[in-house]
Amino acid sequence: MKLDIKALLTVALIAGVAAFFWFAPSQGLQAAPKLQMTTIDGQPLNSADFKGKPYLMVFWATDCSGCVKEIPHLTELNKEFSAEGFKIVGVAVKHDQVPLIKAMRDQKQMNYPLVHDATGEIAQQFGKVNITPTNFLVSADGKIVYQKMGEFKPDEMRGRIRDLLKG
């Protein structure tokens, strides 16, 4: 009896495709949590206000060298895309302190809203974030389309943002 390789590969391919559709999430991409936050300056910030435009949630810490290294890129991305409705929100993690966050903002001239996640609730809602930096790029329809733990590549992020703004 001869083994028919083509038939075997065809069966494997069909089984693989069937398994993908059987186990794939029916809702597609994961929805970003709906959040009501307050900036470190006391201003309310609601993720529902971002509806219809993409945004980037950046989990960071003042004592994280990779986070500090990302700040100039985030500031640049905010300058480049904010006129098109794109938002960046910096979420300082639980162990940080508001005076340190404000000092970092002033020193690095951060031009996007900053929130202190004092209770850790925001990190919990984004899947128990515990590594900084961690970035979540959210589409205009509120779906998380990209997650990056560790430093992002600025040109790659810029391209992703452009693609989301094009629709």
- Mean pLDDT over each residue of the chain, to the nearest integer: 88
Residue 1 pLDDT > 80: no
Residue 12 pLDDT > 90: no
Residue 127 pLDDT > 90: yes
89 alpha-carbon distance from chain centroid: 9
pTM of the model: 0.82
Per the CB < 8 A criterion, the answer to whether 134 and 149 are in contact is: yes
Q: What is the DSSP letter of 54?
A: -
The residue with greater pLDDT, 15 or 29, is: 29
Angle between helices 154-166 and 65-81 (to 10 degrees): 40
pLDDT per residue as tens digits for the range 41-76 = 999 999 999 989 999 999 999 999 999 999 999 999
Taking the C-alpha atoms of residue 102 and residue 109, their distance in angstroms, rounded to an integer, is 10
What mean pLDDT do residues 87-101 have? 97
130-133: long-range pairs with CB below 8 Å, 24+: 132/59, 132/60, 132/61, 132/64, 132/66, 132/67, 132/93, 133/58, 133/59, 133/60, 133/64, 133/66, 133/67, 133/70
What mean pLDDT do residues 23-30 have? 53
